[in-house]
Chain A
Amino acid sequence: MSDDTTEDAPVIPERLPIVDYLQLGDDPHLLANECTDCGARYFDRRNACAKCGKAEFTPSRVADDAVLKSFSIVHRAAPGIPVPYVSAIVETGDGTSVRANVVGLDDPMTAELGMNLVFTTYGCGTDDNGTECVAFGYAAA
């Protein structure tokens, strides 16, 4: 049997994004599915546009700058989830709403409605293969 037919060992990625709309690489960012007809943006796998009903989408980069539109300081969560943390709804500079945590605050109570934020990424775990999971959040600008 020649080497050509040897099955390749599976490639184990060093890092994976926590969700597929997080793009890693040298310039990490969020990538939305944008309706080519009405411009509505989505992060999930789409069948059609919930706003206009059309079914064509194009990938669209989401801006990194954001404003804190709403938040909650979560003290009670499922077992094993570190608390407290600041859950946030942010509006990016190009008008896209994103749900994520506000990260990097020494005291969660210093979160303020309207504060300026910027997109960031960080490692949030490692699986049995040694692959790192990369999450995103927003830090004070």
Chain B
Amino acid sequence: MSDAVWVLGTSMTRFGRYPDLDAVDLASQACMDAMVDGGVTIHDMDILAAGTLFQQGGMGQRVQKQIGQTGIPVYNVTNACATGATAIRTAHLAIKAGEAEMGLAVGVEQMGKMGLLRGGAKDDTNVYEPAGRFGAVTPIDGILGTETMPGVFAQAGMGYAYENDGVGFEQFAKVAYKNHLHSTLNPLAQYRKEFSMEEIMGSPVQSYPNTLLMCCPTGDGAAAAVLVSEEKLRSMPSEVQKRAVKISASVLTSDPWVESGQVQPDVNTLTRNAAAQAYETAGIGPEDLDLVELHDCFATAELIHYDNLGLCERGGAGDFIDSGAPFRDGRIPVNVSGGLISKGHPIGATGVANVYEVTTHLRGEAGDRQVEGAKVGLAHVIGLGSACGIHILEKAA
């Protein structure tokens, strides 16, 4: 018997805005739905891993107090936008280590209309005093470049455009066109509206080349997954086993040193490293993937991850989107959920929600957006700082 870990149950709330609920409500709902989906209860769980970036501490215990205080170990994790993937990885590790047969991973965020992330405030300094690791006498955002997320990821995309031909504003805009289009088929997406290329390229510029419609929204939501050991799964009813999805690879990397890393976060190397590890562990290559959910926090980010994940030839991300390959009816559908750009990006939930999405397709339960015949899928997230999580999932044989 292999020591594989499986997804037994999974769920996500619709992403959006829930002013009448709090993050504990959202996380609890996702947890309960995931356990119902897997035909198990909180009493079957040996471990709980809870991920959130912005909520106050102790999320796992706060959820337990709503859904069942059974005394199991709780790991509260945070890893920027890779927080949700880190929660899954934590439960996965516990099962791999033999300390748990079944674990629950949940990611949640309640951001509301948080707006622009990062970036300093206006200089209201009264007397200049050097402070911090750079001895700065005043906030440097806007003076020494940008610290805002749309800008940082715009620079990541423009750095790729500098190195490679055939990449420009239009290719970045096509990514957003595709993901908005995909989201019209996903009832759990925060936004479900198609936009024309003209509307996308003509929407207000945030940080060129990223316009408003090329940026993910902030929002609220939660997603959860029940993970189970192979041995435990084989003791369960056959109809449960048939819906289980195998985790063929669970990988987490951080950013190794690169020369430019101190001034521009390197989102490429750690993704390439994670992808290489994941493909080797799963014993597959990118050509075997039937769908990919990747971290399109901004349109510029999605484009470079085509290359980082090996979905296209090196340097060929512009041609890849131009060819239509990542559209739902293309060669390797990418972000059929609508992606972060339109499905939404409640940060802690994102890395679990993309596992939910891939799992749902592999089960053949994705409804109108189903990628027909999907057998293998990849879920990728990246958090600045940086952390990259990749999970490769396979349909039960």
Interchain CB contact (< 8 A) of A127 among B121, B128, B140, B207: B128
Query: For the complex, would chain B's binding face be called helix, strand, loop or mixed by DSSP majority?
Result: loop
A125 / chain B contacts, CB cutoff of 8 Å: 123, 125, 138
User: Are B155's CB and A18's CB within 8 A?
Assistant: no
Instruction: Please determine whether A44 and B262 come into contact, CB atoms closer than 8 angstroms.
Output: yes
Asked if residues B151 and A78 are in contact (CB atoms below 8 Å), the reply is: no
A43 to B264, CA, bound (A): 13
Whether, in the assembled complex, A28 has its beta carbon less than 8 Å from a beta carbon of chain B, the answer is: no
Known: A70-B159, A87-B145, A100-B144. A76 touches B150 (CB 8 A): yes
Instruction: Given A75-B205, A75-B208, A127-B127, decide whether A80 and B145 contact each other with a Cβ distance below 8 A.
Output: no
A129 to chain B, nearest CB (A): 6
A89 vs B260: C-alpha distance when bound (angstroms): 9
Q: In residues 125-141 of chain A, which contact B (Cβ within 8 Å)?
A: 125, 127-129, 131, 133, 135-136
> Quick check: A72 and B138 within 8 Å, CB to CB?
no
CB neighbours of B264 from chain A (8 A)? 70, 89, 97, 99
Q: Is B135 in contact with A76, judged by CB distance below 8 angstroms?
A: no
Are B145 and A99 neighbours in the complex by a CB distance under 8 Å? yes
Binding site for B on A (CB under 8 A): 16-21, 40-45, 50-51, 69-85, 87-89, 91, 95-101, 109, 113-114, 124-125, 127-129, 131, 133, 135-136
Q: How far is the CB of A128 from chain B (nearest CB, A)?
A: 5
What distance in Å separates the Cβ of A113 from its nearest Cβ neighbour in chain B? 4
Chain A nearest Cβ from B268, distance in angstroms: 12
Q: A87-B146, A127-B127, A128-B127 are in contact. Are A72 and B262 (CB under 8 A)?
A: no
Query: In the complex the two chains form, is B141's CB within 8 Å of A78's CB?
Result: yes
Number of interface residues of B (CB under 8 A): 48
Q: In the complex, A18→B155 CA distance in Å?
A: 23
The reply to whether A81 and B122 contact each other, CB–CB distance below 8 Å, is: yes
- Which residues of B lie under 8 Å from residue A79 when comparing CB positions? 121-122
B168: nearest chain-A partner, CB-CB: A113
Q: Mark B257-296, 1 if CB is under 8 A from A, else 0.
A: 1011111100000000000000000000000000000000
- Contact (Cβ within 8 A) B135 A19: yes
Closest to B116 in A: A76
Please tell me if the beta carbons of B138 and A18 are within 8 angstroms of each other in the complex: yes
B126 within 8 A of A: yes
B143 and A135 contact, CB distance less than 8 A: yes
What are the residues of chain B within 8 A of A75 when measuring CB–CB? Answer: 204-208
In whole angstroms, how far apart are the Cα atoms of A96 and B204 in the complex?
33
A56 → B minimal CB distance (Å)? 17
Taking a contact as CB atoms under 8 Å apart, the answer to whether A82 and B159 are in contact is no
- Chain A: which residue is nearest B133 at the CB level? A44
A-B contact pairs, 18 of them (CB 8 A): A40-B259, A45-B135, A50-B261, A71-B155, A74-B142, A74-B207, A76-B116, A77-B148, A78-B119, A78-B121, A78-B148, A80-B122, A87-B207, A91-B260, A97-B263, A113-B161, A127-B126, A133-B137
Question: Is B154 part of the contact surface with A, judged by Cβ < 8 Å?
Answer: yes
Give the distance in Å from the alpha carbon of A17 to the alpha carbon of B130 in the complex: 9
A113 near B162: Cβ-Cβ < 8 Å: yes
